Amino acid sequence: MKQRLFLFAAAFALCAALPAQAQLFGPSREEREAQQAHEDGQDAQIRANADAIEQTRQQLQGQIRDLQDRVRNLTDSLARATGANEELGHQITQLNNRIAQQERDFAYRLCVLSAQQLGADAQSMNCAAVGTQSAAAPPQQPQLGGPGTPLPPIMPNSVAPPPAGGGNPALGRGPGVLGTLPGSAAPSGPALSPAGDSRQFDSAMNLLARAQYNEASAAFRSYADTYPDDQELAPQALYWVGNIAFMQQDYAQAARVFAEQIKKYPKSPRGADSMLKMGQALVAQGQTGNGCTAFAAIRKQYPNAPQSTLTAAANARRAAKCG
């Protein structure tokens, strides 16, 4: 009986010692399964995080593309608005000039009429200088007849024929032709600037306003080459050729055209702006020293430049870190 109890106790002790001995030969199957499940969970979490990162990256790329499209659209809209503003400014200047011309014409006719009714000498009343910039050295004019005498014709481009029977020549060229707005009795034909056809310049401005930059550049270039003696519009045409090249990031071409405009028309009101843009084009090409020289020359060469241009030049000098 004792022997059986001893064998039972020994068997029980051996069974109790088996798990401890199993640890000597590695983890159990349950532990391995738990470890594998833990590793599988970590892998799944890593894959989920990678998928979330990829989705976020794609969303950011889409947002960046949208922002780039918006910037391009805003740039195009700004360019079109700038061209339209320049065109409107040019048209307003033309209208103001026509209105001023009509005012001078009206003042001239009123002066002649007053002299006629008063029986006065048109020369003594200086009618030819009414509404002009200077009243000095009035042209020789005949004495007008008394009340009821017909007025001499006002000829826009020539001198009136002499009166019958000799005497002094008739009234000289008046300050302008009454009625120069469209639909009036003004002579037909293209409106001419001092040396060019302003309608061709207006056509180029219309192309610029419609953002047809290549066509506008060619039209401005053609105008500048065709009418180089036009001191008013030819320098503006060259400025826009350079400005379009600058906007298209053709900085070398822009710098050449701005330099051409400054050299050919040094007294043009566009000179300061051309000098500023030439400096910016040089800096954009990496020629910072030359660009800084151009910025510094603006105030000296164009002391009457607009304050906005001088401020832009100062900002450009700071941006370029000019000494």
Is pLDDT above 80 for 285? Answer: yes
Which of 9-18, 20-29, 145-154 bottoms out in mean pLDDT, i.e. has the lowest? 145-154
pLDDT: which is higher, 98 or 166: 98
Return the half-sphere exposure (C-beta side, CA atoms, 13 A cut-off) of residue 156. Answer: 12
- Which H or E run contains 297? helix 288-301
State pLDDT tens for residues 225-247: 999 999 999 999 999 999 999 99
Q: Where do you find CATH 1.25.40.10 in the chain?
A: 194-323
Mean pLDDT score, 120-144: 47
Confidence of residue 223 (pLDDT cuts 50, 70, 90): very high
Q: Which of the pair, 152 or 128, is modelled with greater confidence?
A: 128
Q: What is the mean pLDDT of the chain?
A: 75
**Contacts of 190 by beta carbon, 8 Å cutoff, 6+ apart:** 197, 198, 199
Query: What pLDDT, in 10s, does the model give residues 52-77?
Result: 999 999 999 999 998 998 998 888 88
For the chain, helix, strand, coil in percent to 5 are 65, 0, 30
pLDDT at 87: 82
Helix (H, G, I), strand (E, B) or coil at 114: helix
| pLDDT tier, 14 (very low <50, low <70, confident <90, very high otherwise) | low
The region, left, alpha or beta by phi > 0 then psi within -120 to 50, assigned to residue 179 is left
213 vs 4, residue with greater confidence: 213
Distance CA 299, CA 309 (A): 9
pLDDT of residue 1: 66
Rounded percentage of the chain residues whose pLDDT exceeds 90: 39
Question: What is the structure's pLDDT at 269?
Answer: 92
Q: Residue 217 in contact with residue 244, Cβ under 8 Å? A: yes
Residue 190 phi, psi dihedral angles, 5° rounding: -65, 145
Q: How far apart are the first and last CA of the chain?
A: 113
The pLDDT assigned to 108 comes to: 64
- pLDDT, tens only, 133-162: 433 333 343 343 444 444 444 333 333 344
pLDDT of 114 reads: 55
- What CATH number belongs to 194-323? 1.25.40.10
pLDDT at site 46: 93
Choose from 14-28, 73-87, 150-164, 300-314 the range with maximum mean pLDDT: 300-314
Is pLDDT at 9 greater than 80 in this prediction?
no
Q: CA geometry: angle at 103 spanning 102 and 105, to 5°?
A: 60
Give just the sign of the alpha carbon dihedral 208, 213, 216, 221: positive
What's the pLDDT at 241?
Answer: 96
Q: Can you give the pLDDT at residue 30?
A: 85
- Report whether 105 contacts 128 (CB < 8 A): no
Structure tokens at 266: 């040094």
Answer with the residue of higher pLDDT: 315 or 96.
315
Half-sphere exposure of 225 (CA within 13 A, CB side): 8
The dihedral region occupied by 137, where left means phi > 0, alpha psi between -120 and 50, and beta the remainder, is: left
Residue 177 has pLDDT above 50, yes or no: no
- 279, 315 Cβ separation under 8 angstroms: no
pLDDT top residue among 179 and 195: 195
Task: Give CA–CA dist 230/261, Å, rounded.
Answer: 12
